């Protein structure tokens, strides 16, 4: 240790432990309020205050057996901690504490080391995490009952999947899966696409509309094929009126580079991929087999429970998307059933079917919607980023 460092250490110890040093020089007991009593300190030959401790016979260096005592709130201590932090390649607090204790014993060492490490910009940059704002409330289209399935739809693509095409001259081609998800009932409709072009998307969209009806509102990620599709639909509305009634579609796109805006359907994309991996595995299938697998996966996902699955056989079955897919063909409007006794028998059957549908929607409001209340992430209300803040773009 250099003479200048010895002098600085002695001066720092005098400022922090003056009473203890005086007592040791006079061979007196340390004050009862002293923080150094557990260490049994002593004065070294050069006048430094060192730890006495209980490991005198340990086979380690003298500095490790009797480290120099330092206060945690002095400038010299901060400089020593910073020097060890830089020399040890900016290690974390616990590793740095173990390294320093081979030579120095800092009172409240963890607190002193963290105060230094937390102000290290390279360490901040390495350990920084995103600060998302509080999760917003669910959009109204996820909470609107009494509408047909797929009235409010989310669209996404996933793939590609490799298929075998041809007889003797076998070749391999790629296929994608277009996912249409009902935002309200979480029902799924899957279509196989030969590519990601505008033409292929319009073909998938036309097949979807032919089976599920015209959606009122569509949400999708900001893909070029879907953006172009919306422009194409708007430009060709008059020509397509006899084929598709698309003039009433309200289309919303997620912000660019914001896939988490479509988390509601990204979760189902993951479920689709998992189901298809189990079905197809590593086999190279044909187009016909792939279309069959896609239909089976859609049926499987539409039979999944949305609400709690009770173990009591007397409890009603859990709600599934199939309850809403097969419940009725038209948008449902609640009917007054007070005059049920005076209606025709045929009307009674109709009212009975409508009562069943209303029962499903009431259960949806009572059992499923309350589970959407909890924020499972982004639960803290953090301040928004403002001009002048130093941030890391990830």
| Predicted TM-score (pTM) of this structure | 0.57
DSSP secondary structure code for residue 160 in this structure: E
Beta bridge partners of 385: none
Residues 241 and 360 in one domain: yes
> 393: which 2 tokens?
């773009």
The answer as to whether 123 is a domain residue is yes
CATH code at position 175? 3.30.420.10
Q: What is the DSSP pairing of strand 285-286 with strand 152-165? A: parallel
The answer as to whether 57 is a domain residue is yes
Whether 89 and 96 have beta carbons less than 8 Å apart is answered as no
Residues 121 and 224 in one domain: no
Tell me which residue has tokens 């301040």.
Answer: 383
Nearest CA-CA partner of 52 in 40, 65, 68, 61: 40
Whether 359 and 352 have beta carbons less than 8 Å apart is answered as no
Residues 251 and 110 in one domain: no
The answer as to whether 102 is a domain residue is yes
Residues 160 and 270 in one domain: yes
Q: CA separation (Å) from 41 to 13, 93, 368?
A: 12, 25, 66
The answer as to whether 132 is a domain residue is no
Residues 321 and 242 in one domain: yes
The answer as to whether 329 is a domain residue is yes
Residues 192 and 297 in one domain: yes
Residues 178 and 94 in one domain: no
Residues 183 and 268 in one domain: yes
- Give the end of a domain, one of 127, 162, 179: 127
- Between vectors from CA 44 to CA 39 and to CA 46, what angle results, nearest 5°? 145
Residues 152 and 107 in one domain: no
The answer as to whether 108 is a domain residue is yes
Q: Can you give the pLDDT at residue 269?
A: 84
Residues 92 and 236 in one domain: no
> 75: which 2 tokens?
């400038």
Distance between CA atoms of residues 366 and 72, nearest Å:
58
- Give the end of a domain, one of 105, 127, 149: 127
DSSP secondary structure code for residue 137 in this structure: P
Q: What is the DSSP pairing of strand 152-165 with strand 171-182? A: antiparallel
Residues 103 and 142 in one domain: no
CATH code at position 34? 1.10.340.70
Residues 157 and 300 in one domain: yes
Q: How many domains does the chain have?
A: 2
The secondary structure of 248-295 as a DSSP string is T-EEEEPPTT-GGGGHHHHHHHHHHHHHHHHHHTT--EEHHHHHHHHH
Q: Residue 265 belongs to what domain range?
A: 137-394
Q: Can you give the pLDDT at residue 367?
A: 61
Q: Identify the helix (H) or strand (E) that includes residue 114.
A: helix 109-117
- Provide the residue-wise pLDDT of the chain in tens; the chain has 394 residues: 688 999 999 999 999 999 999 999 999 999 999 999 999 999 988 889 999 988 888 888 899 999 999 999 999 999 999 999 999 989 889 999 999 999 999 999 999 999 999 899 888 888 887 777 777 788 888 888 888 889 999 988 888 888 888 766 678 888 999 999 999 888 999 999 998 887 888 889 889 988 988 888 888 877 666 666 666 655 544 444 444 445 577 888 787 767 677 778 888 888 887 777 766 666 777 888 888 888 888 887 888 888 776 667 677 777 888 888 876 333 334 445 444 455 455 555 556 555 655 665 666 666 666 766 666 676 777 777 888 888 877 7
- Give the end of a domain, one of 127, 149, 173: 127
């Amino acid at each position: 240790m250099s003479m200048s460092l010895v002098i600085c250490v002695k001066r720092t110890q005098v400022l922090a432990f003056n009473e203890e040093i005086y007592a040791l020089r006079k061979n007196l007991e340390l004050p009862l309020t002293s923080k150094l009593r557990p260490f049994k300190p002593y004065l070294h030959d050069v006048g430094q205050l060192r730890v006495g401790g209980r490991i005198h016979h340990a086979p380690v260096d003298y500095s490790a057996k009797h480290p120099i005592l330092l206060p945690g709130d002095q400038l010299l201590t901060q400089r020593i901690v910073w020097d060890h932090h830089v020399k040890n390649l900016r290690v974390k607090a616990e590793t740095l504490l173990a390294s320093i204790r081979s030579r120095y014993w800092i009172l409240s060492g963890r607190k002193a080391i963290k105060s230094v490490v937390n102000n290290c910009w390279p360490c901040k940059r390495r350990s920084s995490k995103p600060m998302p704002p509080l999760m917003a409330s669910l959009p109204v289209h996820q909470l609107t009952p009494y509408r047909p399935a797929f009235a409010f739809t989310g669209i996404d693509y996933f793939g590609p999947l490799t298929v075998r095409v041809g007889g003797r001259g076998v070749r391999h081609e790629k296929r994608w899966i277009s996912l249409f998800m009902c935002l309200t009932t979480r029902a799924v409709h899957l279509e196989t696409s030969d590519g990601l072009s505008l033409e292929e998307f319009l073909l998938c969209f036309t097949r979807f509309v032919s089976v599920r009806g015209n959606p009122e509102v569509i949400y999708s990620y900001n893909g070029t094929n879907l953006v172009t599709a919306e422009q194409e639909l708007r430009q060709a509305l008059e020509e397509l009126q006899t084929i598709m009634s698309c003039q009433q579609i309200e289309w919303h796109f997620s912000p660019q580079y914001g896939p988490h805006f479509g988390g509601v359907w990204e979760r189902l994309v993951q479920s689709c991929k998992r189901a298809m991996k189990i079905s197809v595995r590593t086999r190279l299938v044909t187009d016909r087999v792939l279309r069959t697998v896609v239909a089976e996966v859609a049926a499987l996902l539409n039979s999944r429970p949305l609400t709690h699955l009770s173990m009591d056989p007397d409890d009603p079955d859990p709600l599934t998307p199939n309850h809403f897919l097969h419940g009725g063909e038209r948008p449902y409007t609640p009917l007054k059933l007070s005059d049920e006794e005076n209606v025709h028998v045929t009307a009674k059957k109709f009212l009975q079917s409508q009562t069943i549908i209303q029962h499903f929607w009431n259960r949806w409001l009572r059992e499923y919607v309350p589970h959407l209340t909890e924020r499972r992430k982004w639960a803290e209300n953090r301040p928004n980023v403002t001009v002048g803040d130093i941030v890391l773009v990830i």
